[in-house]
Homo-oligomer: A and B are copies of this chain.
């Protein structure tokens, strides 16, 4: 079978549809990475490198400043929403439309149509953003090929509805394990039901009031949620274990230790349970006062907003590269069965970036 191919001569909305129609759920990005690499290698003004399913392309024109445009190519699991569908209102529907193949399409269009940029450009396409931080492709690039990521300023094309979003919230994932004692369910009083023991944990989560702190003038919005629960041995057995996986999204005025301490405190009086941290990625402060961020803001216009979701701006932050989120998707539509993107926003985002980077 012919490997799927991308046509960079298409406009960005049509290219987004092509990208959506090559499924790339985290861990299965190979075919899409191949297509991206192959399309970029056809452009003579770019140097292209690949590591795993991560593809990096660069202009090397000797400009004084280098800007990096980054996007992840993976998606959450498909929920009956591939292939993509364009409706009569100009909405493109499908898994990954908003998060973030629309942004990837804009990256590819800039790569193809701005051969002589006013700043040197680096395009980063990476895998496994939607899963545990340990698998994140940008993390691996930062560890193995940090030179590929060198830049003065980074724009991450994560969905931000075409507005600039500063900073991002951190994310902490923990497993809460409730204990129990097995018994036959006909004599339940001989055992201790671990699923019932999760009742106060779920009650605490359901009643939780998240913080909404204001940082650098931006109001963040935290969240503490069960994202998984599992318990049960057999239909006639009182279960001796129940595990609740909890995701804490926290504002960037907190660090990892404070986040863990907060979670422990929330569940402190929910009975005996074990807490295990399984995944963590720190937030990033807005950093909008940085000169490069100011210049970018002036060029694309609009008012900066806070970023609720964790994004890899945090990783650029840690590398010392000021970074913002600026992408055509709408973050609140991400990870939904009815995920979609306004094609007009894709076009606008592409035009503004081209105007900024292509201006003489």
Chain A residues proximal to chain B, CB less than 8 Å = 76-77, 79, 99, 130-132, 169, 171, 173, 182-190, 193, 195-200, 202-203, 205-206, 210, 221, 223, 225-239, 242, 244-245, 247, 249, 279, 308-310, 331-332, 334-337
B227 and A232 contacting across the interface, CB-CB below 8 Å = yes
Q: Of the candidates B189, B226, B228, B232, which one forms a contact with A196 in the assembled complex, judged by CB atoms under 8 Å apart?
A: B226
Known interface pairs A184-B331, A187-B332, A226-B231; 8 further A-B residue pairs with C-beta atoms within 8 A, sorted by A's residue number? A182-B335, A184-B309, A185-B223, A187-B223, A188-B210, A195-B227, A196-B205, A227-B237
Chain B, Cβ-Cβ closest to A208 = B196
**Alpha-carbon distance A234/B245, docked complex (angstroms):** 10
Cβ–Cβ < 8 Å partners of A200 in chain B: 203
A235/B225 contact (C-beta < 8 A), A187-B309, A199-B206, A203-B203 known: no
A sample of 23 cross-chain residue pairs with beta-carbon separation below 8 angstroms, ordered by A number, consists of: A99-B184, A131-B235, A171-B236, A173-B235, A182-B337, A184-B309, A184-B331, A184-B332, A185-B223, A185-B249, A187-B221, A195-B226, A196-B206, A196-B225, A196-B226, A227-B232, A228-B231, A228-B232, A229-B229, A229-B231, A230-B232, A236-B247, A237-B335
B331 and A187 contacting across the interface, CB-CB below 8 Å = yes
B308 and A223 contacting across the interface, CB-CB below 8 Å = no
Chain B, Cβ-Cβ closest to A271 = B206
Chain B, Cβ-Cβ closest to A196 = B206
B185 and A227 contacting across the interface, CB-CB below 8 Å = yes
A238/B227 contact (C-beta < 8 A), A186-B308, A199-B205 known: yes
Q: Of the candidates B131, B173, B223, B336, which one forms a contact with A188 in the assembled complex, judged by CB atoms under 8 Å apart?
A: B223
Q: Of the candidates B183, B223, B247, which one forms a contact with A332 in the assembled complex, judged by CB atoms under 8 Å apart?
A: B183
Cβ–Cβ < 8 Å partners of A238 in chain B: 225, 227
B234 and A76 contacting across the interface, CB-CB below 8 Å = yes
**Alpha-carbon distance A173/B236, docked complex (angstroms):** 9
Cβ–Cβ < 8 Å partners of A197 in chain B: 206
Chain B, Cβ-Cβ closest to A173 = B235
Cβ–Cβ < 8 Å partners of A76 in chain B: 233-234, 236-237
**Alpha-carbon distance A221/B185, docked complex (angstroms):** 11
**Alpha-carbon distance A144/B349, docked complex (angstroms):** 71
Cβ–Cβ < 8 Å partners of A309 in chain B: 184, 186-187
B227 and A230 contacting across the interface, CB-CB below 8 Å = no
A199/B203 contact (C-beta < 8 A), A235-B132, A235-B247 known: yes
**Alpha-carbon distance A78/B354, docked complex (angstroms):** 65
Chain B, Cβ-Cβ closest to A248 = B185
A236/B227 contact (C-beta < 8 A), A221-B189, A309-B186 known: yes
**Alpha-carbon distance A195/B224, docked complex (angstroms):** 12
Chain B, Cβ-Cβ closest to A198 = B202
Q: How far is the CB of A67 from chain B (nearest CB, A)?
A: 26
B239 and A235 contacting across the interface, CB-CB below 8 Å = no
Cβ–Cβ < 8 Å partners of A188 in chain B: 210, 223, 225, 249
Q: Of the candidates B195, B227, B232, B233, which one forms a contact with A239 in the assembled complex, judged by CB atoms under 8 Å apart?
A: B227
Cβ–Cβ < 8 Å partners of A190 in chain B: 332
Task: List the 10 closest A-B pairs by CB distance, nearest first.
Answer: A228-B232, A186-B309, A199-B202, A195-B226, A188-B223, A196-B206, A199-B206, A184-B335, A199-B203, A229-B231
